[in-house]
Structure 1
Amino acid sequence: MTLYVYVDNSNIWIEGQRIQAVRTGLAPDIRTALTQKLTAPWSYDFGRLYGLLCPPGDYIGRSVLFGSKPPANDSIWQRVREADFEVETFDRSTFTNKEKQVDIALSTRMMEDSFTYMKAANGDTAVLAAGDGDFLPTIKSLQGRGLRVRVVSWSHAVSHQLRDSADEFVELDTYFDHLTRTAPTT
């Protein structure tokens, strides 16, 4: 079995910030954080996320992180590359500053890889670290060809249809403290 891993960085990071808003008292609960679009500063340790997505002993065929172009001084992208992840970044909208092209690029790459590399007979598995219901047609297409799909997401941010359609669902909530990057001690 080979894992093919696809991560929507913004989804993991922003939804983690919503949990942090609840933990720091900025929001009374996750529903309020969602409806009022409340977040609190939070960053995750990519190495630890990598360990959850790509467990030791599993063979990794490809791993790609998708997101908006980061600021020049953002070090996470270098860490991602050092973990042998490919990085796909896209410009944000100049008018709305919203992320553009990420979900479509991720879905397209999954489909391309499924035809080029993945083999159902080998038990190959696509690992999607995102929760957007827009990925449902991609997941259904992969499964229709006999490939397995593992979805990894925050419980509040995953489409119920996506979660229920996955062959396996891994909830990130229980790993929040483990994933949280702490400031180095001096």
Structure 2
Amino acid sequence: MANETPETCMFFVDDSNIWVEAQKFAASGNSRMPKLEDGDQDPRLRINIGKLVDVLRKSRNQGESFLYGSRPPPNDGVWDAFKGFNFKTKIYDRAHCGKEKEVDNSMATDLSQKATELSIRAEYEPSFQRQKASTTFIAITGDRDMLPPIQRVLEYKIPVELWAWESGISTEYLRQSHRNSLLSVHFLNTIFDKISFTKFTSTHKGKSKRVDPAQTVVLCQFVNPDWGNLESFVAEELVEECRLFYTSWSETGEEIFVEFPRVKNIGVMVNKLQRRFEGVSTVVSWPEYANRFNKHSPAVVKTSNKYALLMDDDGEYPTTRGTAKGGHQPVEPNTDLRSVVKPQGANKGSETVEEKPNDNDGFETVFRRNALQEKR
């Protein structure tokens, strides 16, 4: 019908709610990653903003949308990414005590104000009556402080879809949803695989620091350094150690530095990785690497990401693993690198590894060694 108004949704997003609880969920163990043993948050977790919006929006049009955040951390890249998806960003500096009251107040004000504006205009204009009837508010927050403004929206008979991480939601929302059919509660946990990925490499392009020798293990002298899946394979193996780590290529591109920022005894990790990568590469501590290769000071590599961005560096749909050097692809199912690496001195053209095309809408399909099912 010509006068039919399309379904529309308006977004109200509390960035810190996505940020903190997403990292906690990632560290607790999930379909892609085992539980971290050395921390309750995984700063390598990323949220693909475009996919988040698409999954929640469904087939509806996106109306006015707002993101609320605070500094620190300095997530300007995240704010810019949300702007790219037609969000108005409202960013505030934290108080000295770390509170985010301006963020809460701003989000509460917008929820109430937008609902009031839409309802008042609907009383006098037929077009706004249709607009109100076809509009849903999507609120991403679990903060109980948002309950009063959300109740105000419901009083105006505007449906609200509330999304939050199960670990970070006030139970009062669940009680309210049982009392009022206009409020529906959804858990971001259920769409985790669709909207998130883990990036093991550093993220701040153009900013460098020296690796911390006391926390670094060096993988060098790879049996087959030209094998295309090398970096993905290394990351998949390291994941099994259940420790927070970051990988970086050396300036020469011949070694991979693995930093374990939370490990207290790096010697233990050296021994474990020597067994894990036996037949694939030489694994040494930083002092041994420095002595063997005459490295008098740590090589410069990209910095580990202390304040991880919840997005891909380039604003594109990212991969479930850190972007591999030179476009490396994920390890194939039932393929063990040890079974395809060539002995030193062998003809480089003697081995062929078949790679499965990446047809996952921008997400790499990741396989664990000898796994029977795909891991996303």
For the residue of structure 2 that corresponds to 1:101, the secondary structure is helix
- Taking the TM superposition and a 5 Å limit, the aligned residue runs for 1:25-174 are 25-26=35-36, 38-41=40-43, 42-55=45-58, 57-69=59-71, 74-93=76-95, 95-117=96-118, 122-166=133-177, 167-174=183-190
For the residue of structure 1 that corresponds to 2:191, the secondary structure is helix
Aligned partners of 1:153, 1:71: CA distance in 2, in Å?
Answer: 21
Q: Among residues 3, 9, 12, which one is paired with 2:15 in the alignment?
A: 9
For the residue of structure 1 that corresponds to 2:148, the secondary structure is helix
Aligned partners of 2:64, 2:75: CA distance in 1, in Å?
Answer: 26
For the residue of structure 2 that corresponds to 1:52, the secondary structure is helix
Please provide the CA RMSD for this pair.
2.4
Name the count of aligned residue pairs. 176
Larger C-alpha radius of gyration, 1 or 2? 2
Residue 110 of structure 1 and its aligned partner are, at CA, apart by: 0.8
| TM-score (normalizing by structure 1) | 0.83
**2:118 maps to amino acid:** Y
Contact 1:69-1:92 at 8 Å conserved across structures: yes
Unaligned runs of at least 5 residues, structure 1: none
Q: Which residue of 2 aligns with 1:184?
A: 323
Contact 1:128-1:149 at 8 Å conserved across structures: yes
For the residue of structure 2 that corresponds to 1:75, the secondary structure is helix
Contact 1:90-1:100 at 8 Å conserved across structures: no
Shift in CA distance, 139/71, structure 1 to aligned 2, threshold 3 Å? closer
Aligned partners of 2:110, 2:37: CA distance in 1, in Å?
Answer: 36
The structure where helix makes up a greater share of residues is 1
Give CA deviations for 1:106-157 in whole Å, capped at 9, x if unaligned: 0111111111235575142211101111211112111112111110111121
Give CA deviations for 1:90-115 in whole Å, capped at 9, x if unaligned: 1012x233434111110111111111
**2:27 maps to amino acid:** A
Residue 74 of structure 1 and its aligned partner are, at CA, apart by: 4.1
Q: Which residue of 1 aligns with 2:312?
A: none
Residue 3 of structure 1 and its aligned partner are, at CA, apart by: 1.4
Contact 1:91-1:100 at 8 Å conserved across structures: no
Residue 26 of structure 1 and its aligned partner are, at CA, apart by: 3.3
Aligned partners of 1:12, 1:27: CA distance in 2, in Å?
Answer: 22
Aligned partners of 1:52, 1:18: CA distance in 2, in Å?
Answer: 21
Contact 1:130-1:153 at 8 Å conserved across structures: yes
| TM-score (normalizing by structure 2) | 0.43
Shift in CA distance, 73/104, structure 1 to aligned 2, threshold 3 Å? closer
Unaligned runs of at least 5 residues, structure 2: 1-6, 123-128, 178-182, 198-319, 328-376
Shift in CA distance, 74/92, structure 1 to aligned 2, threshold 3 Å? same
- After alignment, is 95-104 or 42-51 more displaced? 95-104
Give CA deviations for 1:62-86 in whole Å, capped at 9, x if unaligned: 1111111365574222211111111
* Higher relative contact order (Cα pairs below 8 Å, separated by 6+ residues): 1
